[in-house]
């Protein structure tokens, strides 16, 4: 599996988690959770202390009211507590006998005992008697006179707050914590996503730069900031790149045109000189000069064609029958290696016939240089594509060098030995032309020799090629 396929095979959730957006959201949520959890604990502690203070105040107020009523001669048999007072009230004698109690604790032992001999006249503490299910806060004070004698103690008690009897508050705070974390996560994800929208647009524009051309520019956001500076820097870089490429193309085009004129004149004069009588002893030298001149002309023609392809110079296109084109190109060749053709009729593509002739000429010329005894040319349909295959029975091309032969001016050692005069531009030009018309050119596996496969979109009856 290639690296690209492995990247696409990564789980979607893992991809989001390890993205900048995912990491920022995760870090924000974790930090927020720690802060909010600390705040939650502090709020619970504060709530517990507040409720405890309220309980202490409630018991103290209740005990003082009951003691005041008893000291004024109130009915000793009735101890009523109001809805806002401590529910448990007892009157305990110095002999630790409970002589009166409220309904909530009637018939129970004393909640707390104060040692009168030691001068303890007040109780204000947390007690946990065995006969109650929970701890309570008890407040008691002695009264000098009462229906049961002197130094009786009035004790008021109320349950203390805890997680068991305050469960609604922790649940509410936990719900609030979950809601806040969800809101923080969504807001962080949404905000970072919105911030990266211009970056994603710039990335998409740069990814399609080959199709859009170097004259295309990425959009510049209106809001000031780092993204706007990034877009302006990208556009400035594209300006410099376009200028450099334009200068390069202009140089190649100008050099090609400037070289072709003297080369054409020299070639004409040499051909004219060769028409002189055969006894001239300078003819071998002139023939060599003519060969060099033709090679220079081929190089210039290849450079000019590459310049046109790089600039995507439009050329008129028309339906081209590949079988007829192959027959014509094979008929023009006078090589020593026989060429066998298997041509399916009606395989039509839409392209410039001159450029397709150049592609076939380059492929056939390459096959002739390396073939031992035969060359096979096949034209067929394959789904929505037209396929042209050129196969020779030479030594073939190693798999690791199959892409290198399509690099400009790249030549393998065998190719240099068989054709020292080659330019190394024929196959790159052929691939460029194939890609201009939406096709491809590659080297496929074969049992012997090199197998070049050209694919182009078919012209169907419904309209232009895909």
Q: Where are the domains of the chain?
A: 9-202, 226-310, 318-457
Residue with tokens 């956001």: 221
Residue with tokens 């190693």: 398
Beta-bridge mates of residue 318 = 351
Q: What pairing do the DSSP bridges indicate for beta strands 339-343 and 375-382? A: parallel
Task: Give me the pLDDT at residue 463, please.
Answer: 47
Tokens of 202: 């710039």
User: What φ, ψ does residue 320 adopt, rounded to 5°?
Assistant: -125, 125
The domain 9-202 is classified under which CATH number: 3.40.1350.10, 3.20.20.10, 3.40.50.620, 3.30.450.20?
A: 3.30.450.20
Residue pLDDT tens, the chain, 466 long: 444 444 444 554 555 556 777 778 888 888 888 888 888 888 877 877 888 888 888 888 888 888 888 877 766 667 778 777 878 898 888 888 888 888 888 888 888 887 766 767 788 888 888 888 888 889 998 888 878 878 888 889 988 766 545 566 677 778 888 888 888 888 888 787 777 777 777 777 777 766 777 677 777 776 676 677 777 787 788 778 877 777 677 666 766 666 676 677 777 777 777 776 666 666 676 777 777 777 777 777 777 777 777 777 778 889 999 999 999 998 888 777 889 999 999 999 999 999 999 999 989 988 888 888 899 999 999 999 999 999 998 888 888 888 888 887 666 766 666 665 556 778 888 898 999 899 999 999 888 889 999 999 998 754 444 4
Would you say the CATH fold of 318-457 matches that of 9-202? no
In 10 A of CB 322, how many CB atoms? 25
What's the distance, CA 182 to chain centroid? 23
Task: Give me the pLDDT at residue 281, please.
Answer: 66
Task: Give me the pLDDT at residue 108, please.
Answer: 87
H/E stretch holding 140 = strand 136-143
Residue with tokens 């005992």: 113
What is the second-level CATH architecture of the domain 226-310? Orthogonal Bundle (1.10)
Residue 118: burial class (beta carbons within 10 Å; 0-12, 13-18, 19+): exposed
Rg (the chain; Cα; Å) = 49
User: What φ, ψ does residue 465 adopt, rounded to 5°?
Assistant: -65, 160
Task: Give me the pLDDT at residue 418, please.
Answer: 61
Fold classification of 318-457 is: Heat Shock Protein 90 (3.30.565)
In 10 A of CB 181, how many CB atoms? 17
What are the DSSP E strand ranges found in 393-444?
440-444
Task: Give me the pLDDT at residue 27, please.
Answer: 86
Residue 177: burial class (beta carbons within 10 Å; 0-12, 13-18, 19+): middle
Q: What pairing do the DSSP bridges indicate for beta strands 98-101 and 122-127? A: unpaired
Task: Give me the pLDDT at residue 385, please.
Answer: 93
Residue 362: burial class (beta carbons within 10 Å; 0-12, 13-18, 19+): buried
H/E stretch holding 127 = strand 122-127
Tokens of 10: 């990564």
H/E stretch holding 319 = strand 318-321
């Amino acid at each position: 599996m290639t690296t690209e396929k492995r990247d696409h095979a990564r789980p979607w959730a893992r991809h989001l988690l390890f993205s900048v957006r995912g990491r920022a959201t995760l870090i924000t949520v974790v930090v927020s959770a720690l802060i909010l959890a600390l705040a939650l604990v502090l709020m619970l502690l504060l709530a517990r202390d507040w409720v405890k203070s309220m309980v202490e105040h409630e018991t103290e107020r209740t005990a003082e009211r009951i003691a005041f009523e008893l000291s004024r001669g109130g009915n000793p048999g009735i101890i009523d507590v109001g809805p806002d007072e401590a529910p448990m009230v007892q009157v305990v004698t110095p002999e630790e006998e409970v002589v009166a109690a409220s309904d909530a604790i009637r018939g129970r032992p004393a909640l707390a005992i104060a040692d009168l001999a030691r001068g303890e006249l007040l109780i204000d503490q947390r007690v946990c008697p065995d006969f109650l299910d929970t701890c309570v806060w008890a407040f008691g004070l002695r009264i000098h006179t009462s229906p049961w004698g002197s130094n009786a103690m009035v004790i008021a008690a109320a349950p203390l707050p805890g997680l068991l009897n305050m469960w609604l508050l922790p649940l509410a705070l936990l719900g609030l914590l979950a809601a806040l974390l969800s809101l923080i996560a969504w807001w962080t994800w949404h905000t970072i996503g919105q911030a990266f929208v211009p970056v994603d647009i710039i990335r998409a524009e740069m990814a399609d730069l080959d199709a859009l051309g170097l004259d295309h520019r990425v959009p510049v956001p209106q809001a000031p900031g780092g993204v706007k500076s990034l877009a302006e820097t990208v556009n400035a870089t594209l300006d410099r790149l376009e200028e450099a490429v334009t200068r390069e193309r202009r140089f190649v085009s100008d050099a090609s045109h400037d070289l072709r004129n003297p080369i054409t004149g020299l070639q004409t004069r040499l051909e004219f000189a060769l028409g002189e009588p055969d006894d001239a002893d300078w003819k071998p030298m002139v023939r060599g000069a003519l060969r060099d001149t033709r090679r220079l002309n081929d190089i210039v023609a290849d450079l000019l064609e590459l310049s046109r392809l790089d600039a995507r110079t439009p050329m008129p296109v028309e339906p081209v029958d590949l079988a007829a084109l192959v027959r014509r190109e094979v008929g023009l060749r006078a090589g020593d290696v026989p060429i066998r053709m298997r041509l399916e009729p009606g395989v039509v593509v839409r392209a410039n016939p001159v450029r397709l002739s150049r592609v076939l000429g380059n492929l056939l010329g390459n096959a002739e240089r390396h073939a031992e005894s035969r060359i096979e040319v096949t034209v067929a349909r394959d789904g929505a594509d037209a396929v042209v295959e050129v196969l020779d029975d030479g030594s073939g091309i190693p798999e690791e060098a199959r892409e290198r032969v399509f690099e400009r001016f790249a030549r393998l050692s065998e190719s240099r030995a068989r054709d020292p005069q080659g330019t190394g531009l024929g196959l790159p030009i052929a691939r460029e032309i194939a890609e201009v018309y939406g096709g491809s050119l590659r080297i496929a596996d074969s049992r012997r020799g090199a197998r070049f496969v050209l694919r182009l979109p078919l012209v169907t009856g419904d309209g232009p090629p895909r």
